[in-house]
Structure 1
Amino acid sequence: MQNRSPGLKLLFMCVIGFMLIVPLAMVYLLVSDRESQSETAQEAITAGWGGEQTIAGPMLVIPFEAEVTETETVNGQNRCRTVTQRRELFVSPQKQVVRTELQPDYKEYSIYRSVIYDSDTSGEATFTLPDDLSRIDVERSALQFDQAELRFGISDPRGLTDGTSVRVAGEQLALKPGNGPRSTGGAGFSTSVEWDGEGELPVAWTYGLRGSKSFALIPRGGETEWTITSPWQHPSFVGSFLPDNDNREIGSDGFTAKYEGITNLALGEALVSTNEAGPPPSFGMEVPIDRYSAAETMPGGGSKLAAIRLVEPVDLYSQVDRSVKYGFLFIGFTFLAYFMFDVVGGARVASAEYLLTGVGLILFFVMLLAFAEVVGFTLAYLIASGAIIGLLTAYSAAVLGGWRRAGMIGGMLVGLYAAIYVLLSLEAWSLMIGSILLFAALAAVMYATRNVEWSIGQNEREETGYAG
């Protein structure tokens, strides 16, 4: 490109820059692939421990028989008949108080790890049955109290540990696996209970539960109060309900959150019904942008929940992903510096030298990803940026014809890598800071090239004596 005009040099530089979109996109896909492998490894880690846990209950279920009229077609004629069907009456507690303690830990496999926890949950609830059930077309005399049962929901019962107990009026009951409420997909446990429907039915329970990443409660009843504590320092409150700011504390020793005032009016559920609410639209909960206070949108038709996610303070894949998106800033600033030395300083940079420099800049992201999986993002950033800055500074000494110019390239790269790291750390200000950097770069290029005659090549410069 030595004898080409500055305009053609700029054009070739831009073409090479756009060619680098392909390897940069391949690096972006590599990050996605490694993140997918990490998620698969985390699923394998928690396979024998317990997944994201959602608990529900207790719910009192009383079977009854009801006469139902059915219409059937016989020989082309519609006939009605009355049949007796077995149905169930679902009774939610008047009030329930739940307490949960989470003890988090890490479980590792190769270079991957996942957040796991042991939890202890206990609670009390009180059930009453209204005298008049005619509004829901149920005859009290049809209720089969001798077959009543309490149902507790556990989304992943594999995590249940020893010490599970349910007491009614102080008497411990025998538990049966499965037959949980519909809100947890039928998973959980149940127990038969003797009750004549008169007065109050006090229930107390306790159980240990292992899980990973998140813990959620599906509130039920006239009023629900839930207190959860943990030494984890980075909770994310998600779901349909959030604890008030006055009812949550987050510090270096962990967090405490108290949910209160969750009523059946807020839940949109009757205390007594012949229909049972289904599961939430999704047991998986997305991490909100604000890790401390964001609610997940919960469309109607399913149970509502309150949930805590144990968020890792640094998600290396999201940070590497964001850094790749700044790839063109690295390439653009470096190419512009070479271009200034070419058209203003007379260094004569060839197309192949632009290309090799761009490949070196893209290699930074591959090294960043590879080291981040082993030593963490910050240290990986230092290692990868240091290696690439050293490589390109040494290469620039040959390309630009001296260590003084190479030192300027090295200084620019140090400042650029530092600025990008700041952008990655200050997510809320990244767009503004990035736009200021681009404005400063454009202004510098305009000033440095204000006297360049873009249409004159090197031979014409020598013939006309143009000095730039």
Structure 2
Amino acid sequence: MAILIALLLAIPLFAVYLLVYDRQEQSNTARASIAAGWGGPQTIAGPVLILPYQAETTETVNEGGRQVVRTSMVWRELTLAPEVADLKTQLTPERRRRSIYEAVLFEALASGMVRFRLPSDLARFGITADRLAYDRAELRFGLKDARGLFGKPPEVTADGRQLALQPGKGTPATNGSGFFTWLDAGTIQSRPMTVSFRYSFRGNGWLALAPQAGDTRWQVTSAWPHPSFQGGFLPTAQKVSEKGFSATWRVGNLALGRSLVSSGDVVPESRPDVTDRYITAIPAGDYEARVDLISPVDLYSQVNRSVKYGFLFIGFTFVAFLMFDVIGGVRVATVEYLLVGAGLVLFFVLLLAFAEVIGFAAAYIVAAGAIIALLAAYSAAVLRSWRRGGYIAALLAALYALLYVLLSLEAYSLLIGSLLLFAALAGVMYLTRNLDWSGLRSQSPTD
């Protein structure tokens, strides 16, 4: 009967697991509402230099039953990625709260210098330099959520000349979101063109860079002490301390697997979603360098992991009651097993409720102390001895302490858990070694 009750308690344990998931979804929704209007997770890209040119195309059409070849001129875009990009970003984190929920937001100051050079082998791309419309060139900057731009307007200079910026026409790496500027790039025919820029934006969650240059160097510094480096490229150097972090990435176009030069048809203003050959050459998310500003403790994942150990608590406590039953002769009723199991399940609900308000560690102490006191007092009444109730309290205290260790040492949780089960099985075998389970030991050989 005790084993059956333990199995039935899987139903409320699963309900607690669903409750944790539901509260986590509510937390995500609340964090999204806190960050609404501030700026979402940000990806920056560029700048890239766009040089329009005219190309001759031919097509075969049917006129009056005859195949006619027509020749026409169309505008296309030559896209140049920088040969060198030296980028710096300063992240300023900020905590925002609403009720019991908290979101980590950031303000970023991005600055950098890039250098463009006209390739000497344009003929390989079917382009001649005289067809390039240098006076219609564009510089395009990508920012995934352009609503995050704030403060002083972005500053962009090309060879020392201040440029006026326009909204939109970002890079395909940011789905066209960003800003651009027109310029006369005629000087690039004789020498490299240097572009400097500086702009501020807001975001939350993470910041990523879609590298495009032949040699990209990106340095990120912040006062946030809990970064998580993600994406397809990890930092070549990093330093993390309680005062913040600094990280440096260096990525070349050979690692990106694409050329610095690409071409495609002009994308109509009314169809920014049109895919051209340049867009297909842009790296996906696996080719990004990314840093996440994470919270040091994800209380929902910790509560979720603790629920998975619920059977460990139920099993050990029920085994203790069974030992008092079969060895001590104290009969434990079915309802009493059920009430003790309900108390053990209630611990996880209390842990979740308090953790959202006072943090996981403090909530763990409060919930564990309340359940230990409750079950110790009830066990003393059921087992008709305060001493026996003290044994149950000591067992639960040891289990809760061990569970906290398991949650802290995730890499060794399986090892510690399996050793604990081995010790429990050995203890039960030792305590019941002299029990006559079948009643045959008391019979004589003749019987």
- Give the TM-score normalised by structure 1: 0.88
Q: Deviations over 1:408-427 (max 9, x none)?
A: 00000000000000000011
Give 1:264 shift: 1.1
One-letter amino acid of the structure 2 residue matched with residue 333 of structure 1 = F
Aligned-partner Cα distance in 2 for 1:95–1:130: 14
Give 1:35 shift: 0.5
Matched, 1:178 2:161: no
- The alpha-carbon distance between structure 1 residues 250 and 339, as it changes in their structure 2 partners (threshold 3 A), is same
Q: How does 1:64-463 map to 2 (within 5 A)?
A: 64-72=53-61, 79-163=68-152, 164-196=154-186, 197-198=188-189, 199-244=191-236, 247-260=237-250, 262-274=251-263, 275-278=277-280, 281-282=284-285, 298=286, 304-455=287-438
Q: Deviations over 1:294-348 (max 9, x none)?
A: xxxx2xxxxx110101111100000000000000001111000001100111110
Aligned-partner Cα distance in 2 for 1:380–1:34: 16
- The alpha-carbon distance between structure 1 residues 76 and 354, as it changes in their structure 2 partners (threshold 3 A), is farther
Give the alignment's Cα RMSD to 1 decimal. Answer: 1.8
Aligned-partner Cα distance in 2 for 1:349–1:337: 11
Aligned length: 426
Aligned-partner Cα distance in 2 for 1:72–1:14: 81
Give 1:281 shift: 4.2
One-letter amino acid of the structure 2 residue matched with residue 94 of structure 1 = E
Q: Secondary structure at the match of 1:314?
A: coil
One-letter amino acid of the structure 1 residue matched with residue 301 of structure 2 = S
Aligned-partner Cα distance in 1 for 2:55–2:203: 41
Of residues 29-38 and 73-82 in structure 1, the stretch that sits farther from structure 2 once superposed is 73-82
Match of 2:266 in 1: none
One-letter amino acid of the structure 1 residue matched with residue 102 of structure 2 = R
Aligned-partner Cα distance in 1 for 2:421–2:82: 61
Aligned-partner Cα distance in 2 for 1:341–1:432: 29
Aligned-partner Cα distance in 2 for 1:227–1:127: 20
- The alpha-carbon distance between structure 1 residues 173 and 328, as it changes in their structure 2 partners (threshold 3 A), is same
Counterpart contact for 2:89–2:220, Cα < 8 Å: yes
Out of 4, 9, 27, the position equivalent to 1:38 is 27
Counterpart contact for 2:148–2:201, Cα < 8 Å: yes
- Structure 1 unmatched runs, 5+: 1-11, 283-297, 299-303
Aligned-partner Cα distance in 2 for 1:315–1:73: 66
- Structure 2 unmatched runs, 5+: 264-276
Give 1:84 shift: 2.2
One-letter amino acid of the structure 1 residue matched with residue 47 of structure 2 = P
Q: Deviations over 1:350-391 (max 9, x none)?
A: 111111111110011011001101110000101111111111
Counterpart contact for 2:256–2:283, Cα < 8 Å: no
- The alpha-carbon distance between structure 1 residues 339 and 75, as it changes in their structure 2 partners (threshold 3 A), is farther
- Give the TM-score normalised by structure 2: 0.92
- The alpha-carbon distance between structure 1 residues 281 and 194, as it changes in their structure 2 partners (threshold 3 A), is closer
Give 1:455 shift: 3.7
- The alpha-carbon distance between structure 1 residues 355 and 129, as it changes in their structure 2 partners (threshold 3 A), is same
Aligned-partner Cα distance in 2 for 1:277–1:442: 62
Aligned-partner Cα distance in 1 for 2:378–2:138: 77
Counterpart contact for 2:205–2:293, Cα < 8 Å: yes
Give 1:273 shift: 1.1
**4+ runs deviating over 4 angstroms:** 72-79, 277-282
Match of 2:274 in 1: none
Percent identity, aligned pairs only, is 52
- The alpha-carbon distance between structure 1 residues 61 and 407, as it changes in their structure 2 partners (threshold 3 A), is same
Q: Secondary structure at the match of 1:211?
A: strand
One-letter amino acid of the structure 2 residue matched with residue 394 of structure 1 = A
Match of 2:9 in 1: 20
Q: Deviations over 1:387-442 (max 9, x none)?
A: 11111001101111110100000000000000000000011111101111110001
Counterpart contact for 2:173–2:284, Cα < 8 Å: no
